[in-house]
Structure 1
Amino acid sequence: MKRVITIIIVVVVALGAIAYVLSNNKKKNEEKTAFIAKGGGAVAVRVAQVEKKAVDLDFSANGNFIPKQELNFLSENAGRVKAIYVDEGDRVSKGQVLARVDAEIINTDRETAEATYENAKRDEARYQSSFQTGGVTQQQLDQAKLATKNAKLRLQASQRRLSDANIKSPINGIVNKRYIEVGAFVTAQGTQLFELVDVSKLKLKVNVNESQVANLKIGDQIEIKSSVFPTDSFSGKVTFIAAKADATLNFPVEIEVENSHKNTLKAGMYGTAVFKFPKQAPSILIPRTSFVGSVSSNQVFVLDKASNTAKTRNVVAGRILGDNVEILDGLKEGETVITSGQINLTEGTPVSIVK
């Protein structure tokens, strides 16, 4: 019995929902009909006055600060860590020794390679002397020379490995993370040793749209604000502008910021880039919705006030500035463009202005 009652309740609720949707759709259709009917048979439209306005190109964009350089430092030789000379938070310079791997085995390899090289040189000298008297052939002499060359290369490689036993910093920066301890064994396949970051300069990564990126160039000086230090103002320089938009149709931009202020910025903080441009001369601007289809169509409808009809007008569009579009040619101040209802218009269609 309870199951039957539950089914009945579900059916009633579903029927009520359907009735509500149908009633709501009917109401919307009546509103559209009333909107058209206001014009007394003419197409109801909205309009905007064509006028010159000051063009403001200034804008701001938010982003994150990232280090100028960031390096996950990996081991190049196998061995046991003998000593560590830095800790997390220490500032290091390029070439500074950070740690040392036990070089006993590496040194043995170097000594063996050196002995092999010296022996190869003596063999080559003997073959050279024998070749002068006809004791060996040219091929045997060439093989001896090749053996000497290979032995020298092996010696150089072993000397390099011995040198790499002293793990040196490849950049100036700060030890952000230390992954090893004294006595730990590292492999030649790349055990992670340190995470080094250089925050003497930071990069602020922001995204800008197509109309904004058109006004930017490499080297532009940009004002930077930080929400952590609201009373401080930082200066940056545009160092990268993407040549291609990302999946959101925005263009990534990188701004390099000197981090020498009394309040030191940290990588990962939020920042705001304030882009300011010289004052622009007033231009004719119309709403973006005035265009038939899209801005690329370069076509609008103009209101003929004498006959109260819509007239097609071809224009030349310039910059897209937010919700407005700059008009380079085709319109004059004082004219009226139609901003909505164009889908129902053709040349000479009577219109009724809805406020």
Structure 2
Amino acid sequence: MKANQKATILLIYTGGTIGMIKDADTGALKAFNFKKLIKGIPELKLLDCNIETVSFEKPIDSSNMQISDWQKTAEIIEKNYTNFDGFVVLHGSDTMSYSASALSFMFENLNKPIVFTGSQLPIGDLRTDAKENLITAIQIASLQEKGKPVIQEVSLYFEYKLYRGNRTTKISAEHFNAFTSPNFPELVESGVHLNVNNEVLLKENVSKKLKVNTNFDDNVFILKLFPGINKTILHTLLHTPNLKGVVLETYGSGNAPMENWFIDEIESAIKRGIHIINVTQCSGGTVLMGAYETSTRLKEIGLISGKNITTEAAITKLMYLLGQNVANSVFKTIFETSLRGEMND
């Protein structure tokens, strides 16, 4: 793109509260017609970019989000990749962190922005947060420096902050600041000016060709440990037919019960080729296996360290690597390596 040209942004509506308006007569929420987007939000005309829109044929509530919907979103972006300078994905907030994480793994050698955003209130509400989130997300996606996009990764914008998508988690169903990035600073903060934290941005090698890998394997589950978990339940879960991977949410810095039956069940699953990822239940911090006696055995039997990855990024990374048929011999090493800035190496 030439330095004096306006950026072109593709707005992709998958569903969610941001795309709803209240029927004036009934008060019921209904999907917004994105063909009339500019008419509904005249402020968009003031942005220094050209906006085109595309919508899922049947917009979905993000609670219904499936791997096929991630694939559909990725396909829309891939198909339009050369024609646009940036992409803004409008999405329900409930599973947005999962989707942003999934898309980050799907897009290898990405050098354009994919910005997820949404809102807590519909776009037509008097006190809505939708307009600010949408306008600023588009503005951030259109940021250019020397003819190149400033943001070159999958990100999530909500309530004045742009985060790396695969570092986020939803923390509130009530407040406008619904998301946090517990172990990584924001990429951009929106105030009077857009303050870009250049030091933490991902910069891809532009000489490498974009690859979009949409094969994900869903033979996985997340297991949150709790005092009182019993052998029968654990044994049954770990013997689920076709199971290939588990994200194990442990205590503190990666600690778990020391009972022999617990360790034996986990070790037996690992020996059967099931990949088990150790992530912390804490909202912030990192897994440090071996720091306490209660995690030393987990390290010895070959549990994979999730380090400071979020649960959302851990489960989508697991599905992604399984979908790429990564060999068992190198799976642990690859998982414990940061692929898209999702964890600290």
Q: Does 1 or 2 have the higher relative contact order (CA < 8 Å, sep 6+)?
A: 1
TM-score range, shorter chain: under 0.3
What TM-score results when the alignment is normalised by the length of structure 2? 0.18
| Largest Rg, 1 or 2 | 1
What TM-score results when the alignment is normalised by the length of structure 1? 0.17
